[in-house]
Homo-oligomer: A and B are copies of this chain.
Amino acid sequence: MKKVINNPENVVNEMVEGFIAAFGNDYKKVHHTNGVVIKNKPNRVAVVTGGGSGHEPLFIGMVGEGLADGAAIGNVFAAPTPNTVLEVTKELDSGQGVLYVYGNYSGDVLNFDMAAELAELEDITTKTVLVNDDVASATKEHAFDRRGIAGDIFAIKIAGAAANDNLTLEEVARITQKAANHTRSIGVALSPSSIPSTGKYTFEIADDEIELGMGIHGEPGVKRTKLQTADELTANMLDYIFDDIELQENDEVCVLVNGLGSTTLMELFIVNRKVVEILNEKGISIYDTDVNSYCTTLEMAGVSITLMKLDDELKNYYDKPAYSPYYFKKGRG
């Protein structure tokens, strides 16, 4: 796969430099790390996200007003170092503590936890909410083992709004955990991505096959099938979510139809068309919809569908305005 890069070893450094070159009025790089933070964080709980690179605009694109205050990123598909997380934490803490919100991957958990211990030595309190929305990545009984995918978007949105409400760290964590608990996703991969440093594809798949439930680093999914129509595929994907979370008539949800990289917005709209049809049939009310490529896997082709079930508290925080160059809500209510 041809890529527009320089030295493959430098892609993450140069990406961060290019981000700051574009948006340096509002963002800064944390010295000697690949951490990015907003300038002028308000005096309240901080929200930090992060993970491996290759999922852009996640994670740095979810740093902004009413969103995360900072992101600690690692190399492509690799966790940020504990030091990166720690430096971002120190940069942002103003005494009220720091909430870590990120996808449930063992490498990320290890390094964020280590940073939390180091932060404690410097009298910074942290709490953690792990996003584990991917229903295909473990059974319901082992939901704590599930991976985080595009559900990160909703969890970060809610966390940022709750922090902006000047709540305690405990409260911001509680509400964000609820957002994570109310969120389910499933993805499908059509084609692999290739890692810049090796040029190698992350997996192989036949020209007429797709893999349901494949993870955003190419982790094995639940079923490899022949290519399906968008409508069949959407219905099959939603069935996994409906089997996992109780959704009744008149329940309200937020919908995210997320592209994994090279899947076009045209295709995402075609999927959304069927998502809405199915939710309407079930009498489930759609409060808000996003159709975009927020949580990608480099140039992988594929799509994920995420639903977040709302209650009054989540709706209140979802309604708050949010702004980054890659995620924008005007706010309502």
Contacts and interface: CB of A to CB of B under 8 A. Distances in A.
Contacts of A54: 264, 266
Given A269-B19, A330-B323, A2 B261 contact: no
Contacts of A257: 22
A21 B266 contact: no
A163 interface: no
Interface residues of A, number: 65
A270 B233 contact: no
B289 A23 contact: yes
Q: Helix, strand, loop or mixed for chain A's interface?
A: mixed
Given A2-B191, A21-B273, A229-B5, A266 B298 contact: yes
B18 A273 contact: yes
B53 A266 contact: yes
Interface string A179-199: 000000000101100001000
A270 B328 CA distance: 23
A89 interface: no
Given A2-B191, A4-B263, A273 B17 contact: yes
A272 B21 contact: yes
A291 B22 contact: yes
Given A210-B2, A266-B54, A270-B6, A289 B21 contact: yes
A142 interface: no
Contact of A269 (B15, B273, B277): B15
Interface in A288-328: 289-292, 296, 298-299, 301, 303, 323, 325-326, 328
A285 interface: no
Given A190-B4, A291-B22, A299 B301 contact: yes
B6 A230 contact: yes
Nearest to A266: B15
Nearest to A231: B6
A227 interface: yes
B328 A14 contact: no
B229 A267 contact: no
Contact of A11 (B18, B56, B266): B266
Contacts of A110: none
A217 B154 CA distance: 36
Contacts of A196: 266
A22 B269 contact: yes
B22 A270 contact: no
A291 B233 contact: no
A61 B6 CA distance: 32
A262 interface: yes
Contacts of A17: 269, 273
B190 A270 contact: no
Contact of A263 (B12, B277, B299): B299
Contact of A22 (B16, B22, B57, B289): B289
Contact of A2 (B12, B190, B269): B190
11 contacts: A2-B207, A4-B263, A14-B230, A19-B269, A22-B255, A22-B272, A22-B291, A54-B264, A56-B266, A61-B265, A328-B328
